[in-house]
Amino acid sequence: MERGKVYLVGAGPGDPELVTLKAIRCLQRADVVLYDRLVSPLLLTYAPPEAVCEYVGKEHGEDSCARQSAIIDRMIAEARLGKTVVRLKGGDPFVFGRGGEELLALAQAGISVEVVPGVSAAIAAPASAGIPVTFRGVARAFGVFTGHTEADEEVTDWQLAARVPTVVFLMPVQRLRCIAQSLVESGRHPETPVAVVQNGTLPEQRVYWGTLRDLIEGGHCFEPPATLVVGEVVRIGQYVASLPRLATATSETLTAEVSVPARGGSG
């Protein structure tokens, strides 16, 4: 493994067994590991005993731009000392992980950098709940949106989100009602099925089934990390979870009715 290099590594969606082999190899040869929130502590055990493992996750209320700048400066400094640096980021580095910003900054500083993709919760959380984001005759496209915003971020394109058959929102807990209301105001039917997947892929995973109307009416308490899935494909996961031999104690229903969308003939 090349010295004086930074690896932007995806840590996967939570379950440490869903990390890639290449990510493990990078960790095994790392001198410095800078890891984010939601990264499984078990992954740090792959690093050598002498490696420096430092938590650099951003906390609520912290100046994210200043924090991000400090992380980039640290990576550049360590790489210039000839260190092998692993920047360990939850999910995939390029899916709402600011990995693109880090790649640009490192490259502009003349630092050798490589991206190691990871499994994103945008795919893994729905899948772990039995929800296919695409399904023949039901949904031939899906979109991924961030569930939280900052003052300097662009406003979500709700018209686009309302048109995509399956919509996945990452980290939406603080804005669930706002998201549901915005989708309905942009044309989504209030009875559109939704699923909130808490702690996706982990043993403590819980799935809440309902509709956009349920989220708008509120009264439900959700804890992060969570992923929101919106679309008819949710009915498939809910139906599978309702079958006696597959039903689990970790699924909770916000509405009583369960139906499965009919498959189309082509697609």
201 in the Ramachandran plot: left (φ > 0), alpha (ψ -120 to 50) or beta? left
Residues with catalytic annotation?
Answer: 36, 58, 171
Q: CATH number for 120-240: choose from 3.30.950.10, 1.20.120.80, 3.40.50.620, 2.60.120.10.
A: 3.30.950.10
CA distance 34 to 88: 6
CA distance 158 to 162: 6
| pLDDT tens for each residue of 5-54 | 999 999 999 999 999 999 999 999 999 999 999 999 999 999 999 999 99
At residue 148, the pLDDT reads: 77
Quick check: 225 pLDDT over 90? yes
Provide DSSP, 128-150: HTT--S-BTTTBS-EEEEES---
Closest CA to 87 of 31, 148, 150: 31
Fold of 3-118: Cobalt-precorrin-4 Transmethylase; domain 1 (3.40.1010)
Pairing assessment for the beta strands 193-198 and 206-211 based on DSSP bridges:
antiparallel
Is residue 15 classed as helix, strand or coil in its secondary structure? coil
CA distance 74 to 32: 10
Mean pLDDT of 140-145: 97
CA distance 233 to 138: 7
User: Which is it for the CA torsion 112, 8, 31, 33, positive or negative?
Assistant: positive
CA distance 89 to 93: 6
CA distance 73 to 239: 49
| pLDDT tens for each residue of 148-185 | 766 545 578 999 999 999 999 999 999 999 999 999 99
Say which range, 144-153, 177-186, 196-205, 223-232, has the weakest mean pLDDT.
144-153
Domain residue limits, the chain: 3-118, 120-240
> At which residue do the structure tokens 């400094």 appear?
77
CA distance 228 to 20: 25
Is residue 157 classed as helix, strand or coil in its secondary structure? coil
Distance of CA 28 to the CA centre of its chain: 25
Quick check: 146 pLDDT over 50? yes
At residue 150, the pLDDT reads: 61
Encode burial over 109-136: b for 16+ CB neighbours within 10 A, e otherwise: bebebebbbbbbbbbbbbbbbbbbbebe
Answer for the pair 39, 18: CB distance below 8 angstroms, yes or no.
no
Distance of CA 164 to the CA centre of its chain: 18
Question: Residue 177 is inside which H or E element, if any?
Answer: helix 176-185
